[in-house]
Structure 1
């Protein structure tokens, strides 16, 4: 794999994101297999994880739907060929106007606050709406990605169910789905199942549901020996409980998930070239041709991406701090054991498929990197590297 990645870096330059379609397909099949005993299963890929249109087209070929959080992601999905009914739109804190504009496109609306719910239901009682519930369950690997707790800005509190039901009754609106998302990097299946029971109890309050959406947040391994969500065990336990609920409810519902990281994280790597190896009194820095403008997760979430020197994969291991070229603290790894690094070497950051390129920026007026998809063994450029013209494209010069 190292030799292929070096060839790709030589051809397309660095820094560079590279994704492998086979890994994505395997993860998708693993999830659907785990829930194969559910009669109606719907996997909606979370576009925010990796939104390149070629990736979306790959998911469409697998039979996936889409989970979107903005009208722009909805438009990307439609552009990629998805049918409106295969897209769910779950925004947070957006205007009523945006929700109405998305509704006109025919996608499934998911509302997470009482104010907008009442306004939308009053004006559009016949448009089917899903409701996002906050189960008040703390889950997730970082406070920034734990979204089901009591002080979260996401979802309608389970303690507000009586008020929610009054709004639904007064507006006569059509509630066709119930949804939750407790957080990302969930390890404890029992926590997920506990939150699911809260969702089942809430679902009993609505008589015309078509689906129950359990969100996602499944953890993937980020380093050798790292633990991950046991999807197979979750599939077995939740399938049994879901099928049991459907019998009690009186109709076959659709079980929906909206995975992002689980499907694409392990498919991606980030390649960067070492510009400088710098020795200080106590630290050896390897400074690369990138920064948190391209890969912000280590600085934002404290996430640990495994880093390999693919130019010298069998070299003697030494301790390095990997840092970027941004003009402030810009650290990818501290005191990490890596095969000996020389200037010009290519470093490979693993698990760079999710929330990496999509969170990239032009900070310091740097260009965002290119993206490549390996499909059927062949590397394909799926996003060009930016140029200086891209930096200036939407700027307007005035006479001064």
Structure 2
């Protein structure tokens, strides 16, 4: 349970001692609420698990890109991984130096690559055409990291599995010779090797297999500064879920990495790029129940949110625990929780919940990662506000959208403002 139960007397839930219902009353619903303490806890766990190596944590900002979250990461000594120049620009506004930001694009235009280089980002190259272009354009003046596709098919949902042989990500390890030829032709400085095989790994095996590949490839590049293993640590979405044992991972990967550094001849930095691991459990999407609709086959709970705010259940069949914040001690009943979008818009099917009544506040757990960052205005719906609970106080970190936000950027054509044209039969 990520929202703490305040006790039997009230039955209410709290985050850092703050009543969740009070947060809902103050800021309105639907609402994303993030617990800063949970983020700091996860950062500490990573550091303690890799205490024996020169570790750098690069937060994968695509998971949750609010600038206040980025500032919290920077405050905690975490650096940043970005997949677009705009993400990087947000990081720089949050105080990151350009050299602290890894830029890992996927099939973007060369204009965006040029912009990233001009900003001073660390470029991570994931295709041979891009490597060739970098060599032709910059020669030996721009140091790069190379993203390798290791042909490792492990992890969770296929939509977030990125290291198998048919994935669009990275340069195939089978193209090792071609990579080296391009690097040597243009004297491109290679300062890092990168692999990210996907998400939801349950143990250290996938990382160790990726490590073997990168450590062998490192023999081609004598001037490396870092090895980057991406991320993919599995978090718990419900009681009993198998999670990545971070302590075991740290012990095994650190030992392997130290042995590699000794063979390589000097100590390198070990990078990880966690996104979901750092912010998933910190996030709660609070919604209000609109109606409870009893059908012959099931009972629907319809809430004031939908796949426009949290798309993961519909896109990935993702499970999110649901708390009835208003009535936690109610008698459990079976519900199907649905959204207000004009599509099949289901958060949970046949879920046991304490009795849900109209106007009850529900909380979707593990909503910090890929929740708001994947939200949209589908059905001309507004995106919710965001709140960060920091040192026991809730702070508004994003205003709720208004109707004007839906119109911003649209351009009126005066010729369409005339009277309706009558159609003759």
TM-score range, shorter chain: over 0.9
Does residue 1:68 correspond to 2:82, yes or no? yes
- From 212, 224, 228, the equivalent of 1:209 is 224
Alpha-carbon shift at residue 88 of structure 1 (Å): 0.3
Alpha carbons 2:288, 2:360 under 8 Å: kept:
yes
Whichever of the two has the greater Rg, that structure is 2
Alpha carbons 1:139, 1:147 under 8 Å: kept:
no
Alpha carbons 2:204, 2:253 under 8 Å: kept:
no
Runs ≥4 residues deviating over 4 A: none
Alpha carbons 1:16, 1:272 under 8 Å: kept:
yes
Distance 2:48 2:283 in 1: 23
Alpha carbons 1:183, 1:216 under 8 Å: kept:
yes
Which structure 2 segments of 5+ residues have no match?
A: 5-12, 417-425
Provide the residue aligned with 1:132 in structure 2.
Answer: 147
* SS state at 2:280 partner: helix
Provide the residue aligned with 1:343 in structure 2.
Answer: 358
After TM superposition, the structure 1 = structure 2 runs for residues 272-287 of structure 1, keeping only pairs within 5 Å, are 272-287=287-302
Does residue 1:150 correspond to 2:165, yes or no? yes
Distance 1:341 1:6 in 2: 15
* SS state at 2:152 partner: coil
- From 240, 243, 249, the equivalent of 2:258 is 243
* SS state at 2:22 partner: helix
Does residue 1:115 correspond to 2:129, yes or no? yes
Distance 1:190 1:274 in 2: 43
Provide the residue aligned with 1:389 in structure 2.
Answer: 404
Provide the residue aligned with 1:380 in structure 2.
Answer: 395
Provide the residue aligned with 1:190 in structure 2.
Answer: 205
> What TM-score does the superposition give when structure 1 sets the normalisation length?
0.99
- From 168, 187, 194, the equivalent of 1:179 is 194
- From 68, 71, 78, the equivalent of 1:54 is 68
Alpha-carbon shift at residue 191 of structure 1 (Å): 2.3
- From 91, 94, 99, the equivalent of 2:113 is 99
Provide the residue aligned with 1:292 in structure 2.
Answer: 307
- From 364, 372, 391, the equivalent of 2:379 is 364
Alpha carbons 1:265, 1:354 under 8 Å: kept:
yes
Distance 1:89 1:169 in 2: 23
Alpha-carbon shift at residue 286 of structure 1 (Å): 0.2
Alpha-carbon shift at residue 246 of structure 1 (Å): 0.5
Does residue 1:332 correspond to 2:347, yes or no? yes
Does residue 1:15 correspond to 2:24, yes or no? no
Distance 2:314 2:338 in 1: 11
Does residue 1:234 correspond to 2:249, yes or no? yes
- From 302, 306, 309, the equivalent of 2:324 is 309
Provide the residue aligned with 1:88 in structure 2.
Answer: 102
Alpha-carbon shift at residue 107 of structure 1 (Å): 1.2
Does residue 1:270 correspond to 2:285, yes or no? yes
Distance 2:235 2:220 in 1: 34
Distance 1:262 1:390 in 2: 31
Alpha carbons 2:284, 2:367 under 8 Å: kept:
yes
Provide the residue aligned with 1:257 in structure 2.
Answer: 272
* CA RMSD, 1 decimal: 0.7
Which structure 1 segments of 5+ residues have no match?
A: none
Distance 1:181 1:194 in 2: 12
Alpha-carbon shift at residue 192 of structure 1 (Å): 2.2
Distance 1:282 1:329 in 2: 16
* SS state at 2:58 partner: strand
The count of corresponding residues between Structure 1 and Structure 2 is 399
* 1:109-165 deviation line (CA, Å, top 9, x unaligned): 001000011111121121110000000001221000000000000000000000010
Distance 1:186 1:347 in 2: 29
Distance 2:188 2:32 in 1: 45
Residue range with higher mean Cα deviation, 378-387 or 180-189: 180-189
Alpha-carbon shift at residue 189 of structure 1 (Å): 1.8
> What TM-score does the superposition give when structure 2 sets the normalisation length?
0.93
* 1:282-316 deviation line (CA, Å, top 9, x unaligned): 10000000000000000000000000101000110
